[in-house]
Amino acid sequence: MRVLGVDPGLTRCGLGVVDGAGRSLRMVAVGVVRTSAQRSTGDRLAYLQDELDTWLDRFDPEVIALERVYAADHVPTVMTTAQASGLVLLAGARRGIPVALHTPTEVKAAVTGSGRAEKAQVTTMVTRLLGLDTPPSPADAADALALAVCHQWRGPGQALREQGAASERARLKSVQAR
């Protein structure tokens, strides 16, 4: 299964693609989309959407694993993160790609064994789990890969549901093409 992990953000949005099943995983690509705070929010969102579309076209994921937005003390950060998340949800819906939401605690627990792990621990474990020569940088890139790994490990029941959804998407596309 190919999973695109997305660590949403308007200044930095981490993207990571992981292939595999179970414990056998391989990184396909990783990167960070950056936007300048000097640009308008609309321009930044448009650029982020264009980059996300490029990744979706290039890597054709079966599912998108997105970090669930959670409330924090800094409201402007939560708002821009939610805006970036909305773009990902919309892109998935328009393409018929399931989007799975994972909490930061869930992701940390999946890759490190502790939901309270520090970012450095997540980066170290992602590097080990994917057999990378160098740690992904910045943390947004490592977090995107961690999201993809977390989703890969959610269990066979989830994989079966996603396969069913993929089959249904293919059926709908063939009906629409007629």
Please tell me which residue in 51, 67, 143, 162 is annotated as part of the active site.
67
Handedness of CA 105, 156, 123, 74 (dihedral sign): negative
Concerning whether 140 is annotated as a catalytic residue, the answer is: yes
Radius of gyration of the chain (CA): 16
CA–CA separation, 88 vs 86, rounded Å?
5
Query: Rounded to 5 degrees, what angle do the CA atoms 167, 57, 31 make?
Result: 115
Concerning whether 67 is annotated as a catalytic residue, the answer is: yes
68 within 8 A of 99, measured Cβ to Cβ: no
Please tell me which residue in 57, 62, 133, 140 is annotated as part of the active site.
140
Concerning whether 7 is annotated as a catalytic residue, the answer is: yes
- Summarize the annotated binding site as residue ranges: 7, 67, 140
User: Secondary structure of the chain: what % helix, strand, coil (to 5)?
Assistant: 55, 20, 25
- Summarize the annotated binding site for Mg(2+) as residue ranges: 7, 67, 140
Please tell me which residue in 7, 51, 143, 162 is annotated as part of the active site.
7
Residue positions annotated with a catalytic role: 7, 67, 140
